[in-house]
């Protein structure tokens, strides 16, 4: 599939380069913000906004024409959205490296909803799965290189000289013979008329000035100063604010409500209703929230009112007894080898439903009219969000304009768009712009959750205790079947479930391997992707089990992993050796302390993590330190890699230690940060990240830390106490015999 298929708008004098890599346009942007000079330091990170017909959407770069001696503007259309991962710096650096521009002088624009900006790995225009840098590594550099060569050719034509005499530097074309120079904007119009070059060579790493060098994020200042516009910040003329309550039991409906009581609250102007939810609209959020309390909604809870946590786990464990599981993947004959093994070893692991709990609660602003609609929203899936609004409003897709905002935390939650559809159902009932904001309670209790899973692992061992076969029995939902059904195998397996445990997405070699899948959808909730996706589930299982086998054989867990690493994954051995050195692996620890290791190959990156824990109080887990060695291929910005691992570890600590979504009578019991624990500052350990210099293509990094931390801590607990906890969250398991060997 050509993700950049499409035709440029010739009427706008737009020229498409490299299959969608670049557009030069004579149209000037209409801005929602622009770069300003603040004491000699350009303001960066503010998004600009342009009319839908100002440029072809098959573009990453636009240079606007300028008068003689003026620089003009360079705008980069961002194919991915910024949700804290730093992609609005990473992507700019990739373009700027080839285009010879200081990244601070590039204006940013969020890509419009379009198949042109499809992320091939996700099958739609989406930001997720740690795919952003991986998917844009070549296209963005090619865009910058093609633009550079067109600008040089345009200048060469104007000066009547050979292009070989020209070079580019800091937004200018320079004549090395005469000393003449032209800003890019001065030759943008001529460049737009040239035939696009093909196969422009990219600069070798030895010439890189930006890639691989640490730099501050381009959006840091506006975020620190509170001037960055997130979805929840959107304000438009005449806009009202609504807050919603949906039936707390999935599948339920509105039975009754006291509309008059809500309308009596000062500031409340409307009460809106759809089948399963209500919305109170007011002049501000406080009044809307107060009006919603007064509404006193009664619900017809429907058939899921009987669902509770015990039922969910019982169905998952019962799945292990299914006589005909789907054989999802196999190598050799693992069942036969298992049956003939000198000894077998088995373990069962359980993982809970998890909420996303992004700091920015769910929100969406819309203005739906007869002739079209405007949408302002923080979303990871702008195309799906746009299409949902068009369908609900009964409008052509082309008449719906969606503006992607900065996202205050996605973690997979904003890969969903049901909240946009809900907001559209309310907004089409009123003539004014309407901003919907969910309360924190609504955000947690009506989330789409990371699935709960039960895994059984069985290993066949020879007389020496070495592994001859391994069989995984995996029970749980298939998120891919709902979110991206085309991604399911023809047999009905969700390939995300194989991440971290099955070749080739594991660093380990298995002589005989089989993965069995028993699909069990979770009643009473919708399950969805969560930060780390399959890696979070798979790593807890395989890395806990590897530790158990090492201890069974009385071999150092880190040495055991070294022995099992496939010859196809030498980089895995590199990160394992590095983290051993940096963490002090093997050195004595005080009584009650222990170290645990996790080795992974997920999202195209290799990482080894060692967690050190203190269990001098046997009922309290204190994580003393975390060391991670990372080989993610070429590094665009070392600071951002370190920040992403640190943030991922901290994010994963709360869920590994404390968190679980539970249901009673069909209702989620957790409601706010008082019952959904975020790791506290005094609980956060130092996280030391050690980077490997590599010239392989970049891997993903935003989710690696989250996936690693639970197994590393569980293994450290076993080292410190001898107790093997196989159930998450770990603090709950520590206080009971549940999930213990």
User: Which of 616, 700, 611, 618 is CA-nearest to residue 650?
Assistant: 611
Q: How far does Cα 553 stand from its chain's mean position?
A: 38
Q: Identify the band that residue 369 occupies on the pLDDT scale cut at 50, 70 and 90.
A: very high
The average pLDDT across 665-679 equals 96
The residue segments making up the domain with residue 500 are 309-353+449-734
Domain assignment present for residue 651? The answer is: yes
The predicted-structure confidence for 168-198, as pLDDT tens digits, reads as follows: 999 999 999 999 999 999 999 898 888 888 8
Banded model confidence at residue 22, pLDDT cuts 50, 70, 90:
very low
Question: In the structure, what pLDDT confidence band is assigned to residue 48 with cuts at 50, 70 and 90?
Answer: confident
As a whole-number percent, the residues of the chain with pLDDT over 90 amount to 85
Which pLDDT score, from 0 to 100, does residue 12 have?
23
Same domain, 658 and 530: yes
Least confident of 166-170, 195-199, 292-296, 516-520: 195-199
pLDDT class of 118 with cuts at 50, 70, 90 = confident
Across residues 213-231, what is the average pLDDT? 93
Q: What are the tens digits of pLDDT across the range 254-282?
A: 999 999 999 999 999 999 999 999 999 99
Same domain, 510 and 608: yes
Is the pLDDT at 66 greater than 90? The verdict is no
Return the pLDDT at 44. Answer: 83
pLDDT at residue number 739:
53
Q: What is the pLDDT of residues 616-632, one digit of tens each?
A: 999 999 999 999 999 99
Domain check: are 287 and 430 in the same one? Answer: yes
Domain shared by 332 and 398, yes or no:
no
CB neighbourhood size of 42 (10 A): 16
Report the mean per-residue pLDDT for the chain.
91
Cis geometry, peptide bond prior to residue 609 (ω within 30 degrees of 0): no
Rounded mean pLDDT, 438-459: 98
Is residue 740 included in any domain, yes or no?
no
Residues 338 and 242 in one domain: no
CA distances in angstroms from 735 to 36, 259, 657, listed in the order given? 56, 47, 12
Q: According to the model, what pLDDT value does residue 50 have?
A: 55
Nearest to 94 by CA among 60, 119, 120: 60
345 and 416 housed in the same domain: no
pTM: 0.92
How far is 741 from 552, CA to CA, in rounded Å?
A: 12
Question: Starting from the edge strand earliest in sequence, which strands make up the sheet with 453-461, in order?
Answer: 326-331, 513-519, 467-476, 453-461, 343-351
Task: Report pLDDT for 1.
Answer: 29
Q: Are residues 247 and 198 part of one domain? A: no
pLDDT of residue 35: 45
- Give CA–CA dist 270/357, Å, rounded: 28
What does residue 155 show for φ and ψ, rounded to 5 degrees?
-65, -40
For 582-628, the DSSP string reads HHTTTS---TTEEEEEEEEEETTEEEEEEEEEE-SSTT--EEEEEEE
CATH number of domain containing 695 = 3.30.365.10
| 153-164 mean pLDDT | 96
Are 217 and 240 in a shared domain?
Answer: no
**DSSP SS3 for 680:** coil
Same domain, 329 and 283: no
Q: Per residue in 380-430, pLDDT tens?
A: 999 999 999 999 999 999 999 999 999 999 999 999 999 999 999 999 999
pLDDT of residue 42: 59
Q: What is the radius of gyration, based on Cα positions, of the chain?
A: 27
- Please say which residue of 224, 250, 269 terminates a domain: 224
Domain stops at, among 382, 404, 437 = 437
Establish whether the linkage from the previous residue to 441 is cis, with ω within 30° of 0: no
Per-residue pLDDT of 462-488, as tens digits, reads 999 999 999 999 999 999 999 999 999
Is 592 a member of any domain? yes
**Residue 701 neighbours by CB under 8 Å, 6+ apart:** 130, 133, 603, 605, 630, 632, 641, 644, 645
518 Cβ partners below 8 Å, 6+ apart?
A: 319, 320, 322, 325, 326, 473, 474, 475
Rounded CA separation 416/449 (Å) = 11
Q: Which residues contact 136 (CB under 8 A, 6 or more apart)?
A: 79, 80, 91, 94
Residue 708 CA to residue 394 CA, distance in Å, equals 45
Backbone angles phi, psi at 486, to 5 degrees: -65, -20
For 540-590, what is each residue's pLDDT tens digit? 999 999 999 999 999 999 999 999 999 999 999 999 999 999 999 999 999
Task: Give 64's pLDDT tier (boundaries 50, 70, 90).
Answer: confident
Assess if residue 4 is contained within a domain. no
Confirm whether 459 is domain-assigned.
yes
Checking if the pLDDT of 54 tops 70, the result is no
The answer to whether residue 570 sits within a structural domain is yes
Domain shared by 320 and 186, yes or no: no
Burial (Cβ within 10 Å: 0-12, 13-18, ≥19) of residue 692: middle
Q: Which residue has the tokens 């600009």?
A: 48
Helix, strand, coil content of the chain in percent (nearest 5)? 35, 25, 45
Is 529:483 a contact under the CB 8 Å cutoff? Answer: yes
DSSP structural state of residue 149 = H
537 and 671: one domain?
yes
Residue 163 within any structural domain of the chain: yes
- Write down which residue in 192, 224, 256 finishes a domain: 224
Q: What is the pLDDT of residues 305-355, one digit of tens each?
A: 999 999 999 999 999 999 999 999 999 999 999 999 999 999 999 999 999
User: How many domains in the chain?
Assistant: 3
**Nearest 5°: phi and psi at 643?**
-65, -40
pLDDT at 49: 63
**Selection from 246, 279, 237 nearest residue 262 by Cα:** 279
- Kindly state whether residues 581 and 701 are assigned to the same domain: yes
Which token pair is 347? 């373990």
Is 338 a domain residue?
A: yes
Please report, for residues 192, 222, 365, 579, 664, the alpha-carbon distance to residue 304 in angstroms, rounded to integers and kept in the order given: 60, 45, 31, 47, 10
């Amino acid at each position: 599939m050509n993700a950049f298929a499409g035709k440029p708008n010739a009427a706008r004098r737009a020229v498409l380069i490299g299959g969608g890599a670049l557009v030069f346009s004579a149209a000037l942007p209409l801005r929602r913000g622009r770069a300003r000079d603040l004491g000699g330091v350009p303001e960066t990170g503010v998004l600009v906004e342009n009319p839908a017909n100002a440029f072809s959407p098959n573009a990453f770069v636009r240079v606007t024409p300028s008068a003689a001696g003026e620089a003009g503007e360079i705008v980069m259309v961002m194919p991915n959205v910024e949700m804290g991962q730093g992609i609005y710096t990473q992507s700019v650096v990739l373009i700027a490296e080839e285009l010879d521009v200081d990244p601070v002088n590039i204006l940013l624009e969020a890509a419009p909803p379009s198949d042109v900006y499809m992320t091939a790995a996700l099958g739609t225009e989406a930001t997720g799965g740690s795919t952003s840098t991986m998917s844009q590594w070549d296209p963005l550099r090619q865009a910058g290189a093609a633009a550079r060569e067109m600008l040089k050719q345009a200048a060469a034509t104007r000066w009547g000289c050979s292009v070989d005499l020209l070079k580019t530097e800091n937004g200018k074309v320079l004549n090395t013979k005469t000393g003449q120079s032209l800003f890019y904007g001065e030759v943008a119009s001529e460049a737009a008329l040239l035939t696009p070059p093909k196969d422009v060579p990219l600069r070798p790493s030895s010439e890189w000035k930006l890639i691989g060098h640490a730099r501050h994020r381009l959006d840091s200042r506006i975020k620190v100063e509170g001037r960055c516009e997130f979805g929840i910040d959107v304000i438009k003329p005449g806009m009202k604010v609504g807050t919603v309550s949906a039936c707390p039991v999935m599948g339920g409906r509105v039975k009754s409500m006291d509309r008059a009581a809500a309308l009596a609250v000062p500031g409340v102007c409307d009460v809106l209703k759809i089948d399963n939810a209500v919305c109170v609209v007011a002049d501000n959020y406080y009044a809307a929230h107060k009006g919603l309390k007064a509404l006193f909604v009664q619900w017809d809870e429907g058939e899921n009112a009987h669902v509770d946590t015990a039922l969910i786990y019982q169905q998952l464990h019962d799945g292990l007894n299914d006589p005909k599981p789907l054989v999802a993947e196999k190598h050799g004959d693992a069942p036969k080898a298992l049956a003939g093994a000198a000894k077998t070893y088995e373990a069962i692991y359980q993982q809970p439903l998890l909420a996303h709990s992004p700091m920015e609660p769910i929100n969406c602003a819309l203005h739906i009219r007869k002739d079209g609609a405007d949408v302002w929203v923080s979303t990871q899936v702008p195309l799906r969000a746009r299409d949902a609004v068009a369908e609900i409003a009964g409008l052509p897709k082309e008449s719906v304009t969606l503006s992607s905002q900065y996202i205050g935390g996605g973690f997979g939650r904003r890969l969903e768009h049901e909240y946009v559809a809900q907001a559209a159902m309310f907004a089409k009932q009123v003539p004014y712009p309407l901003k919907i904001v969910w309360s924190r309670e609504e955000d947690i209790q009506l989330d789409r959750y990371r699935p709960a899973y039960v895994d059984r692992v069985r290993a066949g061992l020879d007389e020496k205790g070495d592994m001859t076969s391994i069989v995984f029995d995996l029970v749980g939902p298939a998120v891919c079947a709902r979110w991206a059904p085309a991604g399911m195998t023809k047999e009905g397996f969700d390939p995300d479930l194989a991440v971290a445990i099955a070749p080739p997405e594991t660093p380990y070699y298995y002589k005989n391997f089989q993965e069995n899948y028993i699909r069990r959808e979770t009643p009473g909730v919708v399950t969805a992707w969560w930060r780390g996706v399959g890696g979070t589930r798979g790593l807890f299982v395989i890395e806990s089990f590897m530790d158990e086998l090492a201890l069974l054989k009385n071999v150092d867990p880190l040495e055991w992993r070294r022995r099992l690493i496939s010859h196809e994954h030498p980089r895995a051995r590199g990160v394992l050796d590095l983290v051993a050195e940096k963490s002090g692996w093997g050195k004595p620890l005080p009584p009650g302390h222990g170290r645990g290791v996790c080795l992974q190959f997920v999202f195209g990156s290799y990482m080894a993590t060692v967690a050190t824990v203190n269990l001098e109080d046997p009922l309290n887990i204190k994580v003393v330190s975390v060391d991670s060695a990372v080989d993610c291929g070429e590094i665009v910005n070392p600071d951002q890699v370190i920040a992403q691992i640190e943030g991922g570890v901290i994010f994963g600590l709360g869920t590994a230690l404390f968190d679980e979504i539970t249901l009673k009578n069909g209702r989620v019991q957790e409601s706010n940060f008082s019952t959904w624990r975020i790791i506290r500052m005094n609980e956060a350990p130092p996280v030391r990240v050690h980077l490997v210099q590599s010239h392989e293509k970049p891997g993903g990094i935003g989710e690696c830390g989250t996936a690693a931390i639970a197994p590393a801590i569980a293994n450290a607990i076993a080292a410190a106490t001898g107790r093997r906890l196989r159930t998450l969250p770990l603090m709950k398991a520590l206080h009971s015999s549940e999930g213990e060997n």
